Amino acid sequence: MTAFPDLYRYFQKALDEHSIKGNPDSLYAPIQYFVNIGGKRIRPILVMMSTELFGSKASEGLNAALAIELFHNFSLIHDDIMDQAPLRRGQITIHEKHGLPTAILTGDATLVLAYQYFEKYTAEVAMDLLKVFNSTALGVCEGQQVDMDFESMKDISVAMYNEMIRKKTAILLGCAMQMGAIIAGASKEKQELAYEFGIQTGLAFQLQDDFLDAFASSDHSGKQVGGDIIANKKTFLWLRLKEKASKEDLALIMEWEQKKTFNSEEKVHFFTERMNHYGVKDESKALIEQYTQNAFESLNALSNSTEAKQPLFDLATQLLNRKH
Amino acid sequence: MTAFPDLYRYFQKALDEHSIKGNPDSLYAPIQYFVNIGGKRIRPILVMMSTELFGSKASEGLNAALAIELFHNFSLIHDDIMDQAPLRRGQITIHEKHGLPTAILTGDATLVLAYQYFEKYTAEVAMDLLKVFNSTALGVCEGQQVDMDFESMKDISVAMYNEMIRKKTAILLGCAMQMGAIIAGASKEKQELAYEFGIQTGLAFQLQDDFLDAFASSDHSGKQVGGDIIANKKTFLWLRLKEKASKEDLALIMEWEQKKTFNSEEKVHFFTERMNHYGVKDESKALIEQYTQNAFESLNALSNSTEAKQPLFDLATQLLNRKH
């Protein structure tokens, strides 16, 4: 199976060649701009790795890979509006650059462009891809809505949080893996193991994101460390801390939650220190390890050779060990 | 072929039975609410009329009819945000009721729900439906973007306007007709005639909308008469008036365009009177007749019996003669 860097280069090249052009330019240029901002391209590469794992060429997975990357970009464009984010990966967001109406419409068109890539497959394969893609797309919308609902909710359990990140993040990685398996003609049973690898990797990925937001050193991430804490964002770390905190600490936490003006460093320090104290930091690390282990077990359950699976093991390990 | 009122009742019943439910309710309830606001249901009924025209049962067109109605609702939900519209058919819009983020997400999910209905067809039929639907959906986004671009553009020709309404309105009616033909297994040639009937009907429909906005009596439309004129909206009437106006009148028109505060009635009176004077009102009427005639010719070119085509003739005539 082809390794990550080679697939990354292959995908980037295809993305450049499939340049998104059309009329009017005021609709298509922002899409092209946003797609070119970059990103890890994990989802499309998972599609192609999965296509290869089940015996087809990576190139046969390319159109589904492009579809999933465009879907991911669609959801980022609309999420950035909802979050009122001025920047995405250090670049100005579409709604900041072109205004709200164009940003909404650009996102909509990007979603439709994603669906167009399924036309490149045979009717039978396209139908199977469409089914998993539709239910995933709906799940991602549901996850995003639940995440927004959390902002005004008081009692959020860790279980509810897990269900949210499952939908918002993990199922798209599951979908990527399953699409590759579909394209290569793998059995339903193998499709499910591939899907599960994606889900577990996705859960590990999101928890790691939240962990790094609180505990990475800022020179690695390029973002403000503790951004989630400053914004009272309900992450696993935050929710678990509230579950484990003493009455006294809970009172302090709720005091911090209410404060409109505060010293950011002081707030981040309070929370990270308490997360450490209550073992929530270690618990989060252990959970990330556990999800990664689960992902590996799904891979192990597949009869394919270990060598064929290596790039997927490598990718999951790399995601786990990243510093930003 | 079944007449409009019967198909309307059949579609409404199906829409009620396919109630849109899911988790979280905060995402699905607004969709259900918006779909229930109502509307003429012209697009889904065209799908079913076309399905019948080419020899299949209306019920076989139902899922595609539901898809196109959900697509139409998706585009209305997002258009209302872009237009900052507080009301849709007298009911409060989603972004007013639930805020911008939920309105964006509700629209997104509605679009995905539309795509899910194609899963109900065989792979071959679904693939053909997907192709026409994708290119139509993209065209509608393009038309909406061009319409927004018009707001800040100085020189818009009538030809540019026609191309815009073709994309923004007409192709969705064309798509409805073609989807019915695909489902019933009609030849490519017949599909194209059906598509063209939809296009021409759509053009007549949009021009009639603009005409009524300027010239209907307010007790029929339920909207403020002259809303487009008050908002400097670039309609056929507006653009053609500017093409035909004398130097002196053009100066007056441009003065009105610049005014921030004015008496609405006075502005509407000035424009409608000038539109009458320059024969633009009559020209618009004649053009609507022409498009309707073109639509009829496409229908006539089909070898099916006149009786089978009657509900489509009736529908187009009804749209032409409506008072609101």
* A100 interaction partners in chain B (CB closer than 8 Å): 81-82
Question: In a structure prediction context, what are the per-residue pLDDT tens digits for chain A, which is 324 residues long?
Answer: 788 999 999 999 999 888 789 999 999 999 999 999 988 999 999 999 999 999 999 999 999 999 999 999 999 999 999 999 999 999 999 999 999 999 999 999 999 999 999 999 999 999 999 999 999 999 999 999 999 999 889 889 999 999 999 999 999 999 999 999 999 999 999 999 999 999 999 999 999 999 999 998 755 545 668 989 999 999 999 999 999 999 999 999 999 999 999 999 999 999 999 999 999 999 999 999 999 999 999 999 998 888 889 999 999 998 888 876
pTM for the model stands at: 0.95
**10 Å Cβ neighbour count for A247?**
6
Q: What is the pLDDT of residue A172?
A: 98
Q: What is the pLDDT of residue A92?
A: 96
Q: What whole-number distance in Å separates Cα of residue B308 and Cα of residue A63?
A: 42
Cβ–Cβ below 8 Å for A118 and B108: no
* B142 interaction partners in chain A (CB closer than 8 Å): 22-24, 27, 109
Task: Tell me what the mean pLDDT of segment B46-72 comes to.
Answer: 97
- Would you say the ipTM is above 0.85? yes
- Amino acid identity, position B8: Y
Cβ atoms of residues B172 and B72 within 8 Å: yes
Q: What is the pLDDT of residue A261?
A: 94
Q: What is the pLDDT of residue B320?
A: 81
| DSSP bridge pairs for B87 | B92
**10 Å Cβ neighbour count for A309?**
18
* A138 interaction partners in chain B (CB closer than 8 Å): 22, 109, 112-113, 116
Cβ–Cβ below 8 Å for A126 and B127: yes
Q: What is the pLDDT of residue B224?
A: 66
* A131 interaction partners in chain B (CB closer than 8 Å): 119
Q: In the structure, what pLDDT confidence band is assigned to residue B220 with cuts at 50, 70 and 90? A: low
Q: In the structure, how many helices (H) and strands (E) does chain A have?
A: 17, 2
Give me the residue from B126, B134, B149 closest to A26, CB to CB.
B149
Nearest CA in chain B to A130: B119
Q: B212 by DSSP, 3-state: which? A: helix
Where residue B102 sits, what CATH number does that domain have?
Answer: 1.10.600.10
Task: Tell me what the mean pLDDT of segment B187-199 comes to.
Answer: 98
Q: A57 by DSSP, 3-state: which? A: coil
**10 Å Cβ neighbour count for B250?**
14
Rounded to the nearest angstrom, the gap between the alpha carbon of residue B100 and the centroid of all alpha carbons in its chain is: 24
pLDDT digits (tens, 9 = 90+) for B286-320: 999 999 999 999 999 998 888 889 999 999 998 88
Cβ–Cβ below 8 Å for B145 and A26: yes
Total domain count for chain B? Answer: 1
In this structure, what are the phi and psi dihedrals at residue B56, rounded to the nearest 5 degrees? -105, 170
Q: B108 by DSSP, 3-state: which? A: helix
Q: What whole-number distance in Å separates Cα of residue A37 and Cα of residue A92?
A: 10
Residues 19-48 in B contacting A (C-alpha not used; CB under 8 Å): 22-24, 26-27
Task: Tell me what the mean pLDDT of segment B92-111 comes to.
Answer: 97
Task: Tell me what the mean pLDDT of segment B241-254 comes to.
Answer: 96
**10 Å Cβ neighbour count for A59?**
13
CB-side neighbour CA atoms (13 Å) of B221: 16
Domain with A197, as residue range(s), is 4-321
Give me the residue from B23, B113, B144 closest to A105, CB to CB.
B144
What is the DSSP annotation of A267-298? HHHHHHHHHHHTTHHHHHHHHHHHHHHHHHHH
Cβ–Cβ below 8 Å for A145 and B81: no
In this structure, what are the phi and psi dihedrals at residue B53, rounded to the nearest 5 degrees? -55, -35
Task: Tell me what the mean pLDDT of segment B166-170 comes to.
Answer: 97
